[in-house]
Every structure is written in C-alpha cells, then in structure tokens.
Structure 1
Amino acid sequence: MKQTGHEVRTGMKDRAILVSLVTDNMKKHEELVAYSLQELIQLAETAGVEVLETLTQNRERADTKWFIGKGKVEELKALIDEHEATTAIFDQELSGAQVRNLEEALDVKIIDRTQLILDIFAGRARTREGIVQVELAQLSYLLPRLSGHGKNLSRLGGGIGTRGPGESKLETDRRHIRGRIGELKAHLQEMVRHRTLHRERRRKTGVYQVALVGYTNSGKSTLLRQLTNADVYVQNELFATLDPTSRMLELPSGKEVVLTDTVGFIQNLPHDVVAAFRATLEEACEADFLLHVVDSSSPMREEQMRVVNEVLGDLGASGKPQAVLFNKIDLCTEQELQLLTTNLPHLRISAYEEKDQERVKLLIQETLMGDSRTFRIPADKGDIIALVYRVGDVAESGAEEDVLTFRVNINKDDYDKVQYLLSPYEVKEEKDKQDTQGE
C-alpha cells in the first residue's frame, strides 16, 4: 500500500526511484554518466533517502514536456507503484513545467539534483551565514519554478526538498520572495563586510591565510582536525562541512598561520549555490596559499580535480599559489600511487600519519616564508624589530653592542609591502652573496 501524506509528515523516510537521462552528447562520456548517477545515490543517502532503484533513459535530447519522454514516464510510474516509492529524484535539472507534468503523471514528489544538493546544505548549515546562504540559494532556485511546484509545495511538510525556507515561505507570491531575496543579499553583504574587516586585521598583523579546497569528501576536515587539533565535524559523507572553519596552525618554525576549511565542491555544482556561497568561498580567493586536497583512492580522481580547478577559476582564485595534497594514499595500490603526478608542487599523504602532517606544515612554511634576508637593526628600534618578527620567519638572531642582527625568511610580496621600512636595515652584501651561491 502506498504511503499517505500523513505517514510521510510524521517522519517516515523518503523512498525514491533515481532517474538519469543520457543524451547523445553525453554518450561519449559514459564513465562520467555512470559516476554522476553513483554520486546521486550518495547524495540521496546523505539526505536520508532510501534508494529503491535507478532508471536510465537514452534519448537524443531531453523531452521538453516529460524530460525522459512519455513512454519512460509510464515505465517510471510502474516502478513507483511496484516499490511504493514516495519520491522520484532526477540527476539533471528540471524546468518548472517538467516538474508540474511529472507530478501530475506520477503523483509523487519530484526532486532534481540541484534541489537535492540544496536540501543537504539546508540540513548542514549551522552558522547564521550558512543558513542565510542556503535560504538565498533555495529561493533563487525556486523563484523561476514556482508554477511547476504546485503539489510539491502543498504536498508535505517534511522530507527532502522542504527543508530550509519552509513550506509557508515558498507558497507566497513572487513579489514577497523577491523581497526576501533582497533582504538575504543585504545580510550577506554585511557578513562579507565583517569577514573582510577580519581579513584586513589579519593582514595588518602579518598572519598568513591558507585555505583547504577540494572535492567533497576528500578529507579536508580530517586534515584540519589532525593539523590543528580542531573540534570539527568529520564524517565519511558528502558535504559534511558547510560552514568555513578557521584555526591557527603552528609551523615548525613557531610562526602561526590561519588554516581554513571550505565547503567541498561537486560536479554540476548549481550556479545558485556558487552565487549564494560566494561569500564563504571568498576565503579561497583571499588566501595566500591553497592546499588542494584530493582523494587519491577515487577512480574519478582526475575528473574531481578538474571540477575543483574549474570552480576555482569561476571564483577568480585559479591564479593563487597552490599545492596538491594526494590524500588517502593508505587506500591506494602501488600502481595507483605511481599515477599521482601533477605539474604543481604536491605531496602524497595520509591525513592520519604524523610524519605526513609535518611534511604538510613544512610545505606551507617553505612556500610562504620565502627568501632569506639579513637585517641589522638598532636595539632601540622596537617597532622595526616587531615588524621583522611579524612579516617573516626569524631563522637566526644575534647581538653586537646596541645592534641586533636577524636572518629572516620572508615572502617577496610581503617584503615589497614593507620594503620602505626595512630596506635601510638590510645587509645587501650578504644577500647578494647568498644569491650568488644559490646560482
């Protein structure tokens, strides 16, 4: 017997048939199509859905009315009745008209990939900023589709596709929703302003920022926790981390940097999500150094790396200094390890190995600290001495009467910013000598 709306409202699990359309253009990328469907299963399970069966349709192009074609809709209807499913989840984005037609024909809740991802985000958001971003993304997605969500909006109060903004907000008219979107954008702008002020404050104190970026479930949060002893949520599931988490990381030299975990990327990341989460993802844009964490055990490793680089490009962060961390090497075979190459600086690591954690810290230190320079500073110039410690990594120090000598590793960009203050005290001869020896 099919579940009633009352049964679902009282907390019973959504039971879904997953549907994927393979057009002629997609057939040349069969491996990606299969992976996308596998990922959809993971997304559904992450959202708390019981996946009953998958259905694939091959067509020259999407049907404008039924998406998968009238005949395949009838086949899907039979599957839904047979398994007593409550939901059909599509791997591609649907138009409002397609949702309406499918609802009327199938009499179940219709969800597409974008709505499913947004639903997971709604369940993951913890901070005020995360909650605002999710609501903005959901409303931006639903606004042009309101006419197609007639039954969805009145059908149920619980289950996937209804978290976040809530049923009452979604049933209001477009003008109210546009007004709400305006309010949320204003809130986000204020949050961005505060975040920018914090970043500027960190810059003035000479603190570097390092951002962990990568595909969802690549191990970024685990690495953050292992490196900084941070109390962060770690689970083997998609989008375990939604809100950015920043912690201080002490490098082997004793200098501290800010290490930030960011939301994981995914293929076909909805544009509404990228737009709404731009404030969070700006952490990657503003970082001094990006650590691209890769699940080296994934059979789709190369594709996942391509997706991350594509999103970084969309955000304007692709030109940032970057290193690749091939994580989870303990899950790889020897043959798989041989394939882990890139033209960027890279390390092969397991986030749980202490020696690998130290190698990551050294990589950060060597990348950010830069050239070695020597300064002789009068002991009474406390502000200049403090500046040296702030912008560089002091490797050696000594004293001769009233003059202090410092050998400092300092990043060229940072040195350029304070050169007018430090250049009078730099020992040029020694610097030139070191340069000659290095050639």
Structure 2
Amino acid sequence: MNDKSNKGVLVSVAKKGEDDRVVEEHLDELAFLALTADITTEKIFTQKLEQPDKRTFIGKGKLEEVHAFVVANNIDLVIFDDDLSPSQLRNLEKDLKCQIYDRSLLILDIFLNRAQTAQAKTQVELARYQYLMPRLTRMWTHLERQRGGTGTRGGAGEKEIETDRRMIRNQISVLKKKLEKIEKQNAVQRKSRSNIVRVALVGYTNVGKSTLMRLLSKSDVKAEDKLFATVDSTVRKVVIQAIPFLLSDTVGFIRKLPHHLIESFKSTLAEVREADILLHVVDVSHPAYEDHIRVVKETLRDIGASDKPTIYVFNKIDLLENEDEEPVEKMHSMHMEEDDEKVFVSAQEKININGLRELIFKKVKKRHYQIFPNYLKDEFYLGQEHNKDV
C-alpha cells in the first residue's frame, strides 16, 4: 500500500435469495478491511446473480455502471468481496482500466504491512507470491505494490510476464527454505516449553484478544480497532495463584481467509495447535457473532486444533443494546462441547476479568497437576516475576 490513502469502490455479488442482512454484514467487513489498508470507500455496488459471470464476475450492465463511476471520480482501485479467477482479473483490469483487488489480495497486503517478525514476513511473502503466480497480467503487476509503487507497466509483453513468473518461482523456493529453517528454530524453542501449561487466545479478528492479553499478562501488547492488529504470535508468562502458564496471542481469523495464507501460517499457528487450553474470544455485541464462532471453529479444524479444552470468552458485553438481556439466551445454536466453559466479560471496561481468571486457573490447575502430580506451591514459583516475555 502507499503512504497516502487511496480511493476505492467495493463490489459484491450475492446469490438470489441470499439474506440482505448477511450481504450487508459482509460488505461492512470488506469496508473495514479497506479502511485497515488505508483505502477510502467511495461507493458500494451490489448485484444479485445465480452465478457470477465467468468473464467479469459481474454482469455487463453493472460493469458499465462501475466503469462510469471509476472514470468520473478518479477511483484508484476496485475491490471485489470474493476471489477472482486469473481470467476475470485480466478482463476486469482491461475493462475498468484501474487496479483490481479481490478479497484475498487485500488481506494479503494488510498482512504484509502488519507483519513484524522475520517468520511472519516470510510467511506472508510466500503466500502472496503463490497467490500472484497465476494472476500476472499485461496491464498491471501487483508486485509493484510490494516495492511501494502503484503504476502500470506500460507495454509489458509475454516475455516480461514470463520473466516475472520465473522470478516468482525462484522466490517461492527461497522463501520455503527460509521458512523451514525458521520453523526448526521455533520448534526447538517450543519443545523447551513443553513442561509448562500453554494457553492460546483464538478468535475472529478484532474481537479484543490483544486487549485481554494485555490485561491477563499485565504487559504492553499492541491493541487497536483495526482488523489484524496482531499478525505475529506473542507469548507471555503468567502466574495465577502460584500456578504458572504461557499465554499466547496469534493472528485473528476471518471468513474466506486465503488458503495460501492458512498454509503459510500453519507454523505460526503451532502455538494454537500445541496449546493445552484455548480461550475462544467472541465479540458478543456483533450481530454476526455466531457466524464468527463457526469460522473460527472451521479454521481450528483446518489446522488440527479443534479438540482442545476451550473457554468461550464472550467479550464486549458493555456494548449489548439491551443491558438486561442475558447473553446466554442468544447462544442456542453455538454447540459448545460438554467440557467447555463460558464467561461474559468486557476487556475494555474490565468487567468480570476476575471471573475469567478463576476459570482459567481452574483449567490450568487441572492440566498443571497432570504434568506435575507432586507439585507443591513452593517459594520457587511464588517468588517468580509474574509476567515475562518468552
């Protein structure tokens, strides 16, 4: 992305009969993604079709409508809420004569800007190259954005595209080797922590995980009202009533998370996969929170972490419209497992954080005594500093 804010329009194709409320929620999320990427949404276009158009995703009339708006308002880019095929991308760039993003490319760009560690940067670069490989076109080269530019590559022909493809294949090979080396180092580090209980925060993006992490670990963890504020995994040591454990926060999940990104981030998500207990944080004030729970559960299943003891942390209760309403009444379709627990909190307002701590202690203590059956609350643990970077 550029330093300056770009002007964009959003485009969504809904199947006939699809709930308008759901379509609106998805577009709200896409607009938030755009904002996170410093793109100002100037207009939203929607169309209902039985199936997206094979050539341009949207119908001919809607395409002309979008084109007219793009030309009249000097729009920098058009963002589609679904993934585009390589041919659809080529055709849209040719017809609209501006940059085209689909949902995956937008998410990948956000991740690229937010990654801090060598591992996260390598993972995102790998996912982005794998995504871009089949999508190189004559008119636009999305690699330009990675180098900070947004211009066209005027007159670029097949020879230049083939050169780009060869460069990408080489980069993919280099990045895979680099990632393999980093993962081996991290695996050794995780193995050294195998004698301590591990708790991982999971949840949809922007549900308040980092704020909870900061409260529970009493450490300075970045938290802001943007999607994917956390891309790198953060691990802190916490002690509750003389029982120590490691608390980790990783990237938030989102619907239609790019497949390449999930694959590349599996090593980072090892913190989740190897955790003893999950804190599944849910923004209970969000109208689509049950859908968010489903997305998180599906992603956990994809990375092999769906069988963990879980505490559902229903966050942001201070934002519920009807304060007298018992949130649990809204959870008829959540399908919690028998051993799962739930707690209602507000991380921002620090409501019922002690209740959350008690539940965590109960789960951690049980697992801790499985690791150390003869454990005594001795001075070694009591005297330790409660929160340390790991």
User: Do Structure 1 and Structure 2 share a fold, with TM-score over 0.5?
Assistant: yes
Question: How high is the sequence identity, in percent, across the aligned residues?
Answer: 40
**Does the alignment pair 1:314 with 2:305?**
no
Match of 1:66? 56
**Does the alignment pair 1:75 with 2:65?**
yes
Match of 2:382? none
Match of 1:394 among 359, 367, 376: 376
Q: Please, which runs of 5 or more residues in structure 2 have no aligned partner?
A: 153-159, 380-390
Match of 2:9 among 6, 17, 24: 17
> Does the C-alpha gap of structure 1 residues 200 and 150 become closer, same or farther in structure 2, counting only changes over 3 Å?
same
Q: CA deviation at 1:150?
A: 3.2
Q: Distance in 1 between matches of 2:151 and 2:202?
A: 27
Q: CA deviation at 1:174?
A: 2.1
Match of 1:225 among 190, 214, 218: 214
Match of 2:155? none
Partner of 1:335, secondary structure, is coil
- 1:166-198 deviations in Å (ceiling 9; x for gaps): xxx998432331221122112212222222211
Q: What TM-score, normalized to structure 2? A: 0.86
Q: What TM-score, normalized to structure 1? A: 0.77
**Does the alignment pair 1:247 with 2:236?**
yes
Give the alignment of 1:22-101 within 5 angstroms: 22-24=14-16, 27-101=17-91
Match of 1:299 among 260, 275, 287: 287
Match of 2:366 among 370, 377, 380: 370
Counterpart amino acid of 1:141?
Answer: Y
Does the aligned pair in 1 maintain the 2:242–2:377 contact within 8 Å?
no
Q: CA deviation at 1:395?
A: 5.9
More helix by share: 1
Match of 2:249 among 232, 237, 261: 261
Counterpart amino acid of 2:300?
Answer: L
- 1:298-344 deviations in Å (ceiling 9; x for gaps): 01110000000010011110011111000111111232624354533
Q: Distance in 2 between matches of 1:121 and 1:170?
A: 25
Match of 2:97? 107
Does the aligned pair in 1 maintain the 2:144–2:151 contact within 8 Å?
no
**Does the alignment pair 1:123 with 2:105?**
no
Q: Distance in 2 between matches of 1:87 and 1:32?
A: 24
Q: Distance in 2 between matches of 1:266 and 1:70?
A: 31
Q: CA deviation at 1:155?
A: 7.5
Q: Distance in 1 between matches of 2:53 and 2:351?
A: 55
Q: Distance in 2 between matches of 1:225 and 1:259?
A: 10
Match of 2:167? 176
Counterpart amino acid of 2:233?
Answer: P
Q: Distance in 1 between matches of 2:368 and 2:33?
A: 49
Q: Please, which runs of 5 or more residues in structure 1 have no aligned partner?
A: 1-7, 163-168, 374-387, 398-439
Q: Distance in 2 between matches of 1:89 and 1:152?
A: 16
Counterpart amino acid of 1:53?
Answer: K
Q: CA deviation at 1:17?
A: 1.1
Partner of 2:376, secondary structure, is strand
Give the alignment of 1:186-225 within 5 angstroms: 186-203=177-194, 206-225=195-214
Q: Distance in 2 between matches of 1:245 and 1:295?
A: 21
Q: CA deviation at 1:296?
A: 0.9
Does the aligned pair in 2 maintain the 1:16–1:51 contact within 8 Å?
yes
Counterpart amino acid of 2:311?
Answer: A
Larger Cα-atom Rg:
1
Match of 1:411? none
> Does the C-alpha gap of structure 1 residues 390 and 198 become closer, same or farther in structure 2, counting only changes over 3 Å?
farther
Does the aligned pair in 2 maintain the 1:13–1:159 contact within 8 Å?
no
Match of 1:428? none
Does the aligned pair in 1 maintain the 2:206–2:225 contact within 8 Å?
yes
> Does the C-alpha gap of structure 1 residues 47 and 185 become closer, same or farther in structure 2, counting only changes over 3 Å?
same
- 1:98-135 deviations in Å (ceiling 9; x for gaps): 11111111111111110000011011011111110110
